[in-house]
Structures are given as structure tokens and as C-alpha cells.
């Protein structure tokens, strides 16, 4: 193989699928995102690199499905021929960007005759995106020629030749977290993280004590990797970035978020930390930090690490306007800098500064529309952009606008209150969901 085409100096790389295959009948958007996630994971499992999906336009690795001449010097040529390319880390404006020919029939877990295996090609292209060039080694994934599907993404094991070349570039990952144990002994693969249905699919019947999403109030709400998570008791619901409910049934927290104590019966607040995009869970005096859906070693730790003098946290979110982390407890709030890891001076302040918010919060989160959302009971308040005042139409009902419940379901009496206050005047809003219309969202 020829000389390496430089490498990334930073270790945290963001990615985003900017355009999807036009003919998405073959591959749904969530499947495409899941395949990109796993193709990147092949490399981050063995090299000290961390990839995280973002929603914005400033991703390090922008992924596009495009065709013919798309003005980057590598025009595609219709079905067959050239099928994809990626830009090396050293490219000035396009470093890491990866393009797939939208004239190909991209497939997943299909026979070779049905088309081009997207996962196999993506692993190859992301090899370029981190700095590897083509090689003549017959078993390498970096051979320039398409060699057919490489099997199940959850069980894929990179050829040793390719591991050596990426170790030469970046060194070995200290805590190797193989998708597969080296040496081929395939253990049950890690469950797909944040990109596939939580593994409660195997429990066809709803566990009896599972809460009802239409009448609950929520312990915590968070935007994680661009998706919305609503936590209640030992369960959570998940919405894709298009606000599609992944499943009408809640998933069980312990079966997806690995490493929380089994006796944990609920969480107080959750947020995705800026910078390394790890996920922080709070309960009482403790907090846990997750990389993807695995808790990191050394947790739980005391929330005094943040300089919080309180005995618990009601709400935590990152304000898009300044990328600072805000903690709320009762009628006070703190501002914390997650990049510098210290509390900003002059806090706590009275939460009345957030005009129009209720005195107590269940949680808060940022959303991809640029607004911040505050949740209490069955209602939510929207604060646009960099304002500190709720927008006119707030509060609205969570169940109808986020969890696809009909008016009747959403307004039925609260099964339990997180605080003693009762809901006296539930505001009536035009019904967003058609009566009796259940929303089913299909993901990968």
C-alpha cells in the first residue's frame, strides 16, 4: 500500500447522514443511520477514536447519497463502476466527507445479487475517512474492488491487516471494546446502541407495571444523539429526530442503559454532555456517565463533583445558545461549563428569571429546532432560541405533541403526581393527533 494520507489530530469526530438514498424503499433512514453507526464502530472499536452522530451542518464526516457529477472531482457513473468515495483527513474542506452513489441498489443483509452491501462499502470508505489508502492485500477491506457483503454488522471482524494499518496511524485503543472478541470467537454482540430498537422487542407483552405514556408525568426528558428520550420509573420511550415514536411500548431502562444499579426505580434528570457527547444520568446525590449505552467505570459519583450543593437535581439541559449546562432544583438554577468542567460564578439564581416557567420542573431538554423545552406534570413549555421567556402558546400537553396520544387519552386524570400539586386547569388545545389514530413508527 502507498503512504498513509495523514490522519485526524482530534479523537472525537462527529458524523451525520446529510442526504439519504432516494429509493428509500430498499433501506429506511434509520437503517442507513444504523449501518453508518456500525461501520464507524468497526474502526472506533480498535482505534482511539470516538464517533458521535450530530444533527447540525458542522459534522466532521458529512455523509451523502448523490449521483453522477456532484462537483467534487469524483463523478459517479451510474450503476456499477465507481460506487463510493471518501476524503482523507488532510483535505481542507471535505476531510472525512463520504459519498455513496445513489444510482446503486444499496442493500442490507441481502444476497450479493440483490445489490451493493452498504455496510461493507461504508466500512471501506470510513477507512479512507480516517486516513487509510487502498491496499492490494487480498483479504483487506481496503481493497479498491467491491468484494460482496461482509455479513452481519454486529458480528463483523476487521481483517488483521487493516487493524495493523489503523494501529500504525492512531495506536491501539486502550480499552478495546470489540464488537467481536478477537480470534473469531463470536460472543453475543453488544446490543445496537441508540440506533436500533431497544432490546425489549423480545418481550412481546407489555410488562404489567409499565406506565401509560398518555397519562404519565415524566421523571426525566433528554435529547440524546438528536433523539428524544422520555423516562418514567424503570421505563423510557424514544422518539427519532423526526419526532416519530420508536415504539408505543416503553423500553426497560436497565435492558438498554447498561450499568445502572438494578434497584434504581427511576431517574431524576438526564442530558447529553457537550464536547464528548457522553450521557449523564442523575438520581439523588449520585450521577453516572455513559459512553453510548454503557456506563463508564468509576460511577456513580457524587453530584458535588459539579459543585451542586443540593440533594438532588430536578432538571438538566444544555442551552444551545451558549452550550452551557443548566441545572434546576426547586426554584433555583445553576450554570455549569461542561467544557471547562466547572460551575460558573454567581449561581444559583432564582428560576423566575426564566419567565413563564412553573416553579418546579420534572426536566428540560434542547431540541433540534433550536428551542429549549421544559417539562412539568403533563405539560411542557417552549423557550425559543436564546430567549429566557416561554413562547406565547405554552404550556401544551406532552402526551399529544410528543407521544402521539389523542385528546381523550391525554386529558384523562393523572395516574400519579410527582409532587403534591394537583392539575386544576388543563388547557384545551386544538387536537394535533386525529382521534383514535395510533401512530406506528417503523425503524430499522
Residues with a known catalytic role: 125
Nearest-approach distance from CB 241 to other proteins, in angstroms: 29
Q: Which is nearer to other proteins, 134 or 335 (CB)?
A: 134
Q: Is 363 helix (H, G, I), strand (E, B) or coil?
A: strand
Among 48, 56, 80, 370, binds other proteins (CB under 8 A): 80
Q: Tell me how far apart the alpha carbons of residues 351 and 332 are, in angstroms, rounded to a whole number.
A: 5
Hey, which residues between 317 and 376 contact other proteins (CB under 8 A)? none
- Does 34 engage in binding with other proteins (CB under 8 A)? no
Q: Which is nearer to other proteins, 5 or 444 (CB)?
A: 5
Taking every pair of Cα atoms in the chain, the longest distance, rounded to a whole number of angstroms, is 72
Hey, which residues between 125 and 184 contact other proteins (CB under 8 A)? 125, 128, 133-134, 136, 138, 144-146
Can you say whether the dihedral through the CA atoms of 200, 239, 213, 442 is positive or negative?
A: negative
Q: Tell me how far apart the alpha carbons of residues 185 and 423 are, in angstroms, rounded to a whole number.
A: 56
Task: Give burial (CB, 10 Å; 0-12/13-18/19+) of 324.
Answer: middle
DSSP letter at 35? H
List Cα–Cα distances, 121 to 35, 44, 86, 150, 199, in angstroms: 10, 17, 11, 9, 27
- 416: enclosing H helix or E strand: none
Q: Which is nearer to other proteins, 146 or 170 (CB)?
A: 146
Q: Tell me how far apart the alpha carbons of residues 325 and 340 are, in angstroms, rounded to a whole number.
A: 11
Q: Which is nearer to other proteins, 80 or 171 (CB)?
A: 80
Window contacting other proteins (CB under 8 A); options: 1-9, 157-165, 230-238, 401-409: 1-9
- Does 71 engage in binding with other proteins (CB under 8 A)? no
Nearest-approach distance from CB 83 to other proteins, in angstroms: 5
DSSP letter at 206? P
Window contacting other proteins (CB under 8 A); options: 40-48, 82-90, 203-211, 427-435: 82-90
- Does 84 engage in binding with other proteins (CB under 8 A)? yes
- Does 33 engage in binding with other proteins (CB under 8 A)? no
- Does 104 engage in binding with other proteins (CB under 8 A)? yes
Among 42, 116, 260, 364, binds other proteins (CB under 8 A): 116
Rg (CA), the chain: 23
Task: Give burial (CB, 10 Å; 0-12/13-18/19+) of 440.
Answer: exposed
Binding site for other proteins (CB under 8 A): 2-3, 5, 74, 76, 80-86, 104, 116, 121, 124-125, 128, 133-134, 136, 138, 144-146
Amino acid at each position: 500500500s502507498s503512504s498513509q494520507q495523514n490522519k485526524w489530530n482530534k479523537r472525537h469526530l462527529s458524523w451525520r447522514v446529510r442526504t439519504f438514498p432516494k429509493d428509500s424503499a430498499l433501506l429506511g433512514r434509520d437503517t442507513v443511520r444504523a449501518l453508518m453507526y456500525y461501520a464507524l464502530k468497526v474502526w472506533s472499536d480498535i482505534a482511539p477514536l470516538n464517533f458521535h452522530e450530530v444533527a447540525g451542518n458542522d459534522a466532521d464526516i458529512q455523509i451523502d447519497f448523490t449521483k453522477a457529477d456532484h462537483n467534487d472531482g469524483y463523478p459517479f457513473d451510474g450503476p456499477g463502476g465507481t460506487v463510493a468515495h471518501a476524503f482523507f483527513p488532510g483535505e481542507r474542506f471535505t476531510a472525512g466527507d463520504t459519498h455513496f452513489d445513489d444510482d446503486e441498489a444499496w442493500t442490507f443483509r441481502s444476497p450479493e445479487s440483490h445489490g451493493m452491501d452498504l455496510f461493507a462499502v461504508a466500512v471501506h470508505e470510513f477507512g479512507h475517512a480516517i486516513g487509510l489508502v487502498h491496499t492490494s492485500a487480498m483479504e483487506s477491506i481496503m481493497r479498491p474492488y467491491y468484494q460482496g457483503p461482509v455479513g452481519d454488522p454486529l458480528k463483523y471482524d476487521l481483517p488483521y491487516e487493516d487493524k495493523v494499518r489503523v494501529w500504525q496511524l492512531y495506536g491501539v485503543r486502550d480499552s478495546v471494546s470489540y464488537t467481536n472478541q478477537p480470534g473469531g470467537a463470536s460472543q453475543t454482540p453488544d446490543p445496537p446502541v441508540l440506533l436500533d430498537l431497544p432490546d425489549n422487542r423480545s418481550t412481546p407483552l407489555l410488562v404489567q407495571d409499565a406506565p401509560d405514556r398518555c397519562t404519565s408525568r415524566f421523571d426525566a426528558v433528554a435529547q440524546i444523539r438528536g433523539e428524544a428520550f422520555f423516562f418514567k420509573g424503570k421505563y423510557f420511550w424514544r422518539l427519532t429526530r423526526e419526532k416519530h415514536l420508536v415504539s408505543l411500548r416503553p423500553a426497560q431502562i436497565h435492558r438498554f442503559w447498561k450499568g445502572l444499579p438494578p434497584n434504581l426505580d427511576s431517574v431524576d434528570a438526564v442530558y447529553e454532555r457537550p464536547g464528548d457527547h457522553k450521557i449523564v444520568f442523575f438520581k439523588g446525590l449520585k450521577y453516572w456517565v455513559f459512553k453510548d449505552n454503557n456506563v463508564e467505570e468509576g460511577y456513580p459519583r457524587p453530584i458535588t463533583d459539579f459543585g451542586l450543593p443540593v440533594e438532588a437535581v430536578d432538571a438538566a439541559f444544555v442551552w444551545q445558545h451558549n452550550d452551557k449546562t443548566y441545572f434546576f432544583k426547586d426554584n433555583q438554577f445553576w450554570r455549569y461549563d461542561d467544557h471547562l468542567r466547572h460551575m460558573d460564578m454567581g449561581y444559583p439564581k432564582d428560576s423566575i428569571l426564566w419567565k413563564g416557567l412553573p416553579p418546579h420542573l420534572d426536566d428540560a431538554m434542547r431540541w433540534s429546532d433550536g428551542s429549549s423545552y421544559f417539562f412539568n406534570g403533563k405539560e411542557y413549555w417552549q423557550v425559543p432560541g436564546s430567549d429566557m421567556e416561554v413562547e406565547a402558546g405554552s404550556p401544551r400537553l406532552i402526551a399529544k405533541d410528543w407521544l402521539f396520544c389523542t385528546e381523550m387519552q391525554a386529558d384523562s386524570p393523572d395516574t400519579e403526581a410527582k409532587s403534591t400539586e394537583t392539575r386544576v386547569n388543563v388547557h384545551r388545545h386544538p387536537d394535533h393527533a386525529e382521534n383514535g389514530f395510533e401512530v406506528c413508527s417503523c425503524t430499522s
